[in-house]
């Protein structure tokens, strides 16, 4: 049982067996002796959800080189540390959108057994990619109807929570071009249809406009990055922005930075940042469903606890404070298919909380003043 403050005022949250059993907003003081009094200036929030992380990337200067050099044991050690880092910042659910083979499932099982070990991990396994394509070194290469269907089925059978497909290329992989498509619309549809038949959501990595268009038409659940990358800059396409915003698909924007980006990334990105922000602002203005996927792990400025640092960027995109919090709690839960269980403080939901000092609706920076973290009812910080 927790006695504290939520968005709707003073509340006592009753917890049993890792779940919320009741939320009492009458203001009456609980008489139970197992009460955690969080204090009058503390705000109780649902644990945060990062819709796009890579536990296997080490946030170093060359994460791909370290990734390729690490054997499974070393990679698992790094992933466990990354999971713990995220958890202590109040991130109680992460979607791992790519590690080698199915290693993320190993860590996911561990954190399910031991809440102190890390967030609940919704693992994609290796992203489905073309031969030699973006992140091929994660071992998820598949092309053509038969292989694509087999790949989806394998992820389902092994217990993945989501299917990730690289609709476009990406910056991190040598030889890959982010603005070029890797799969056509028909391929993406095969993957989406098979995943949905099996009850799994699909996350499509999509930088270029063609990949974004095709992923949207194929009916994927979340579009990752949505950066409108063209060969020479940002390809602004008002009609596509409008379609995206009105589609109901979740747009998992790559936000969250602590410190500065590496020089070569800055040189590539900075000329594009303004125009990309303009497009994203327009997406928000038109009612696009925005959630935050940090891509934690891919740069030194993206450690695995970077998510709370994205609230400022969300505000700059024009998202009101409450909607910014929803983007990393309730909306993120819907995007990941775990609504009802995550991202909310109500009876039946998992007892995942972050307790911060002050009121994050007035001061977003209070998300960084973490007073306590609970995972499945266990206090981990
Ligand atoms: Zn990623």
One DSSP character per residue, 164-180 reads EEESB--TTSTT--TTS
Distance 283 CA to ligand 1 centre (A): 21
What's the CA-to-centroid distance between 15 and ligand 1, angstroms?
Answer: 34
CA of 105 to the centre of ligand 1 (A): 17
pLDDT band for 373, please (50, 70, 90 cuts). very high
Q: What pLDDT, on a 0 to 100 scale, did the predictor assign at position 364?
A: 83
Neighbours of 24 (CB within 10 A): 15
Query: 82: CA distance to ligand 1 center in Å?
Result: 15
Nearest CA among 110, 45, 113, 102 for reference residue 83: 110
Mean pLDDT of 42-70: 96
**Is 127-333 in the same CATH topology as 2-45+343-379?**
no
Name residues whose C-beta falls within 8 Å of residue 317's C-beta, 6 or more positions apart in sequence: 253, 277, 280, 281, 284, 290
56 to each of 71, 98, 204, 255, 335, how far by Cα in Å? 11, 8, 19, 19, 22
Q: If pLDDT is split at 50, 70 and 90, which confidence band does 27 have?
A: confident
Question: pLDDT value at position 3?
Answer: 55
What does the alpha-carbon distance between residue 328 and residue 47 come to, in Å, rounded to a whole number? Answer: 9
d(CA 193, CA 189): 6
Give the separation between CA 254 and CA 245, rounded to whole angstroms. Answer: 17
Task: For residue 57, report the distance from its CA to the centre of ligand 1, in Å.
Answer: 10
Look up the pTM and report it.
Answer: 0.95
For position 37, what pLDDT does the model report? 79
Q: Where are the domains of the chain?
A: 2-45+343-379, 127-333
Q: Render the burial of 101-119: b for 16+ CB within 10 Å, e for the rest.
A: ebbbbbbbebbeeebebbb
CA 34 to ligand 1 centroid distance, Å: 41
Q: How far apart are CA 44 and CA 324, in angstroms?
A: 16
* Element at 196 (helix H, strand E): helix 185-197
Residue 107 alpha carbon to ligand 1 centre in Å: 18
**For 127-333, which CATH superfamily applies?**
Metal-dependent hydrolases (3.20.20.140)
Other Cβ atoms less than 10 A from the Cβ of 41: the count is: 14
Q: Residue 268 carries which DSSP code?
A: H
Q: What is the DSSP letter of 127?
A: P
**Domain covering 2-45+343-379: architecture:** Roll (2.30)
Neighbours of 172 (CB within 10 A): 20
Task: Give me ligand 1 centre to Cα 238, in Å.
Answer: 25
What pLDDT, on a 0 to 100 scale, did the predictor assign at position 8? Answer: 55
What confidence tens digit (pLDDT) does each residue in 251-298 have? 999 999 998 777 777 777 777 888 899 999 999 999 999 999 999 999
Cα 237 to averaged position of ligand 1 atoms, centre (Å) = 24
Q: How far is CA 185 from the centre of its chain?
A: 24
How many whole angstroms from 358 Cα to the centroid of ligand 1? 32
Say how far apart CA 91 and CA 377 lie, in whole Å: 14
CA angle 223, 282, 172 (to 5 degrees): 40
Say if CB 307 and CB 50 are below 8 A apart: yes
CA 48 – CA 327 distance, rounded (Å)? 9
Give yes or no for residue 2 having a pLDDT over 70.
Answer: no
């Amino acid at each position: 049982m927790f006695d504290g403050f939520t968005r709707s005022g003073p509340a006592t949250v009753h917890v049993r067996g890792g779940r919320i059993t009741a939320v009492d907003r009458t203001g009456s003081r609980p008489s139970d002796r197992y009460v955690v009094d969080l204090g009058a200036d503390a705000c109780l929030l649902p644990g945060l959800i990062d819709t796009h992380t890579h536990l296997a990337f080490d946030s170093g200067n060359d994460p791909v080189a370290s990734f390729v050099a690490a054997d499974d044991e070393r990679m698992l050690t790094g992933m466990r540390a990354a999971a713990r880092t995220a958890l202590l910042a109040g991130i109680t659910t992460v979607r791992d959108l790519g590690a080698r083979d199915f290693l993320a499932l190993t860590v996911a099982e561990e954190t399910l057994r031991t809440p102190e070990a890390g967030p609940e991990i919704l693992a994609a396994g290796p992203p489905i990619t073309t031969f030699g394509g973006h992140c091929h070194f994660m071992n998820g290469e598949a092309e053509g109807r038969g292989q694509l269907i087999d790949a989806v089925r394998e992820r389902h059978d092994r217990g993945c929570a989501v299917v990730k497909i690289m609709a476009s290329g990406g910056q991190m992989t040598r030889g890959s071009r982010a603005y070029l498509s890797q799969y056509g619309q028909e391929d993406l549809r095969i993957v989406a249809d098979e995943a949905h038949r099996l009850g799994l959501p699909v996350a499509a990595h999509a930088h270029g406009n063609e990949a974004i268009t095709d992923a949207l038409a194929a009916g994927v659940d979340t579009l990752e990055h949505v950066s409108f990358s063209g060969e020479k800059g940002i390809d602004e396409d008002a009609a596509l922005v409008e379609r995206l915003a009105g589609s109901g698909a979740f747009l998992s924007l790559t936000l969250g930075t602590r410190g500065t980006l590496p020089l070569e990334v800055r040189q590539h990105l900075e000329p594009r940042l303004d125009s990309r922000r303009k497009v994203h602002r327009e997406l928000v203005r038109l009612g696009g469903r925005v959630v935050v996927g940090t891509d934690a792990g891919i740069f030194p400025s993206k450690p695995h606890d970077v998510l709370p640092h994205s609230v400022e960027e969300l505000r700059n995109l024009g998202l009101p404070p409450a909607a910014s919090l929803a983007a990393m709690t309730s909306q993120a839960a819907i995007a990941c298919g775990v609504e009802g269980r995550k991202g909310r403080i109500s009876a039946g939901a998992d007892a995942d909380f972050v307790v911060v000092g002050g009121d994050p609706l007035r001061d977003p920076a209070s998300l960084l003043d973490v007073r306590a973290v609970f995972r499945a009812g266990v206090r981990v910080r």
